[in-house]
């Protein structure tokens, strides 16, 4: 059993990570608390990737360990999830980008808080986002990016939502290591972050304000 779960992700100790999670669950620890430790591990992985300590292949392996960790935790998270949905959110990594780590972390955290998450995956066409938005009428749409070439498609998606008259009804969020406030302003988005927990806090705050409006 790992003393520090986060270190297991950085060191790619898959079996020990998964075993530690199972043991902590069996001891009755809250699944969201364990998930947060796993998330901290992935933040360390991301930081070391940015610094050139870890390579892309290692980051992808860590991402797979995280996905397996979530698969173990999800049934327990589902049991403690609020029965009433807090809101609906579409998440997507747009055309040309196949990185989904940050999006997956946000998705899991939001589900744990009671949101209905519609994850469209990676390499998504802007028109697919529009069609899903028309179908489910979400409260939020979140775009994740690890490469700057997808900014054009974020703009395209935002423009499509505007043309269809949907933009004013939806909070548009952007996140990922390459996003910043300049991009937020360029897209006329409502929120930008590189921290999944900040994204969750924003969604909770917006839904609370809407209920009291």
CA–CA gap between residue 64 and residue 173 (Å, rounded) = 25
CATH architecture of 88-211: 3-Layer(aba) Sandwich (3.40)
Contact 195, 212 (CB under 8 A): no
Spatial neighbors of 83 by CB under 8 A, at least 6 apart, are: none
At 81 the pLDDT is: 76
CATH node for 5-80: 1.10.1240.10
Sorted by where each begins, the domain ranges of the chain are 5-80, 88-211
pLDDT of residue 1: 67
For the entire predicted model, the pTM comes to 0.87
Which secondary-structure segment (H or E) carries 142?
Answer: strand 140-144
Q: What is the pLDDT at residue 68?
A: 96
Give residue 83's pLDDT.
Answer: 76
Please give the chain's pLDDT, 213 residues, in tens. 677 898 999 999 999 999 999 999 999 999 989 999 999 999 899 889 889 999 989 988 999 999 999 999 999 988 877 778 899 999 999 999 998 888 998 999 999 889 999 999 999 999 999 999 999 999 999 999 989 999 999 999 999 999 999 999 999 999 998 999 999 999 999 999 999 999 999 999 999 998 887
Helix (H) or strand (E) holding 172: strand 171-175
């Amino acid at each position: 059993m790992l003393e520090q779960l986060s270190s297991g992700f950085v060191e790619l100790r898959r079996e020990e990570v998964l075993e530690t999670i199972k043991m902590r669950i069996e001891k009755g620890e809250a699944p969201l608390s364990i998930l947060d430790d796993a998330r901290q591990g992935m933040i360390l992985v991301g930081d070391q990737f940015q610094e050139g300590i870890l390579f892309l292949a290692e980051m992808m392996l860590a991402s797979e360990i995280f996905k397996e960790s979530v698969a173990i935790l999800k049934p327990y998270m589902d049991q403690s999830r609020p029965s009433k949905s807090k809101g609906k959110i579409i998440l997507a990594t747009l055309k040309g980008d196949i990185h989904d780590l940050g999006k997956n972390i946000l998705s899991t955290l939001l589900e744990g808080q009671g949101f209905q998450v519609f994850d469209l995956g990676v390499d998504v066409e802007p028109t697919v986002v529009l069609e899903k938005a028309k179908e489910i009428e979400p409260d939020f749409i979140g775009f994740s990016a690890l490469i700057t070439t997808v900014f054009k498609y974020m703009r395209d998606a935002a423009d499509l939502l505007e043309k269809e008259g949907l933009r004013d009804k939806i909070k548009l969020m952007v996140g990922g290591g390459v996003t910043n406030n300049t991009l937020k302003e360029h897209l006329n988005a409502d929120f930008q972050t590189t921290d999944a927990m900040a994204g969750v806090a924003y969604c909770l705050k917006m839904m609370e304000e809407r209920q009291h409006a």
